[in-house]
Amino acid sequence: MGLGLSSCLLLLLLLGVSGDLGSQGTPPEGTWEEEGELWSRARFEAVKKHLGAVGALSKQYWQYLACKVWQEGCEEEEEENKEEEESHRRSGWSLPLVGQDYLELFSAWYCSFGKCCKTGDCQIINNITGLEADLNRQLHGQHLAKEVIVHAVQEFLQNPRPDKALVLSFHGWSGTGKNFVARMLASHLYQDGLKSKCVRLFISLFHFPHHKYMDSYKAQLKKQISETVQLCKQSLFIFDEAEKLHFSLLDAIKPFMARYDNKDQADYRRSIFLFLSNLGGNIINEVALDFWRAGRVREEISMEFLEQQLRAELQEPAENSYARSHLLEENLVDVFVPFLPLEYHHVKLCARDAFLARGLPYTEEALHEVARLMVFVPKEEKLFSAQGCKSVSQRINYFLP
Ligand SMILES: *[C@@H]1O[C@H](CO)[C@@H](O)[C@H](O)[C@H]1NC(C)=O
């Protein structure tokens, strides 16, 4: 039995014993592959029920997660549940479950959906051509992000001996494509995309909600990262809402991103770390607005110029975990990737993609209608969509025949 499969089973076993989750038991080894899917669905239901019993988790909560992680089941919530979600947030709505098996539970959960493969690396596909093509086709208004990401990732993967992990920090307003690109990277580097065992997604408010448990989170996070790296030749770690990541967590994972000098440890140099945040979003938007006011096209905005501004902004010692951690001082971030604010015609392109993705016909008028639903700022110019392309794909529902 391969390492991937066994650790997967082990996690589930641990869970089964410690949490007494469900009564299905462990399937006989030989039938894992065939029955795995069904069984893991059942196990998932059991985990869900268990958690539900512990903390009275709402349906919305699971939808939120499924939506965040897999972009599944997003349609129903969004609008109606904004208020509830907000009140959850205020009351520290995140999982009531803390303690040791918190992240384990989630790896088991991920694990139960992904196919456990024998070596843990057989699902690596590294389809850079496909990545580039899909970014060109589906990422709108981001000439800088597109170029630097493909370049950085390609160079990193081609290097037989990188001296450190690749660390990319995505910055920009919400809805500008940071999540979209992270998902796209996952799906072009791994057969199973975000569901791969070599890909770990951490969402600050979800995985690390309470400051008082920071020590426990730190230990769990480090354990997760080293276990993943031991299992996979190449790992991808995504930190969503990185602006809300406690600086001590950032400091805790620094050694995984640092230049390699530790010979008795697993090799972290083949890992990719993505940090997604809205930090610096305002400065990026100011630059874009200045260019527009000066009558210059946004494609003239250069990486050198913007990255410099962005770096300066991130070092501002405001309530900003980047500045408080030592991530910047130690030059651990390889590229700061700016995501520009989106204009009206970009939103229309997102709407078009949403229609195409569902195989639905669309008219130019429908695209206008969708774009018109968004709020544009600043007040005078009404140039940039305040929510980028966020929830555009849900909004097309209103215009279906
Ligand atoms: C690479 O990605 C492209 C675009 O998504 C896809 O059409 C192609 O089949 C992929 N190739 C491999 C080998 O997975």
Supply the DSSP symbol for 108. Answer: H
Packed helices 32-55 and 3-19: angle between N→C axes, nearest 10 degrees: 30
Rounded distance between C-alpha atoms, residue 228 and residue 20, angstroms = 25
**What spacing in Å lies between the alpha carbon of 133 and ligand 1's midpoint?**
9
Where does residue 267 rank: exposed (0-12), middle (13-18), buried (19+ CB within 10 A)?
middle
- Distance (Å) from CA 192 to ligand 1 centroid: 13
The preferred substitution site among 122, 123, 127, 136 for testing ligand 1, maximizing ligand atoms within 8 Å of CB, is 127
CATH number of 128-338: 3.40.50.300
| Atom 13, ligand 1: residue with shortest CA distance | 127
pTM of this structure: 0.74
Instruction: Give CA–CA dist 377/262, Å, rounded.
Output: 49
Place of tokens 């609008």: 79
- Residue-wise pLDDT for 305-330, tens only, equals 999 999 988 888 776 777 778 778 78
Q: Which atom of ligand 1 is nearest to the CA of 125?
A: 14
CA of 136 to the centre of ligand 1 (A): 14
Give the ligand 1 atom nearest the CA of 133.
4
Q: Which of 100-104, 130-134, 176-180, 329-333 has the lowest mean pLDDT?
A: 100-104
Pocket, ligand 1, Cβ cutoff 6 A: 125, 127, 130, 133-134
pLDDT band at 44 (very low <50, low <70, confident <90, very high): low
Q: Which of 100-109, 198-207, 290-299, 302-311 has the lowest mean pLDDT?
A: 100-109
User: How far is ligand 1, taken at its centre, from the CA of residue 240, in Å?
Assistant: 26
* Residue 94 identity: S
Reported as a single tens digit per residue, the pLDDT across 137-178 is: 999 999 999 999 999 999 999 998 899 999 999 999 999 999
Domain ranges of the chain: 2-14+44-116, 128-338, 344-399
Encode 10-45 in three state secondary structure: HHHHHHHHHHCCCCCCCCCHHHHHHHHHHHHHHHHH
Reported as a single tens digit per residue, the pLDDT across 255-301 is 999 887 665 566 889 999 999 999 999 999 999 999 999 999 999 99
Signed CA dihedral, 32, 19, 66, 322: sign only: negative
Top pLDDT among 15 and 259 is at 259
In whole angstroms, what is the distance from residue 140 CA to residue 185 CA? 16
Beta-bridge partners for 379:
none
Which helix (H) or strand (E) segment holds residue 111: the answer is helix 101-113
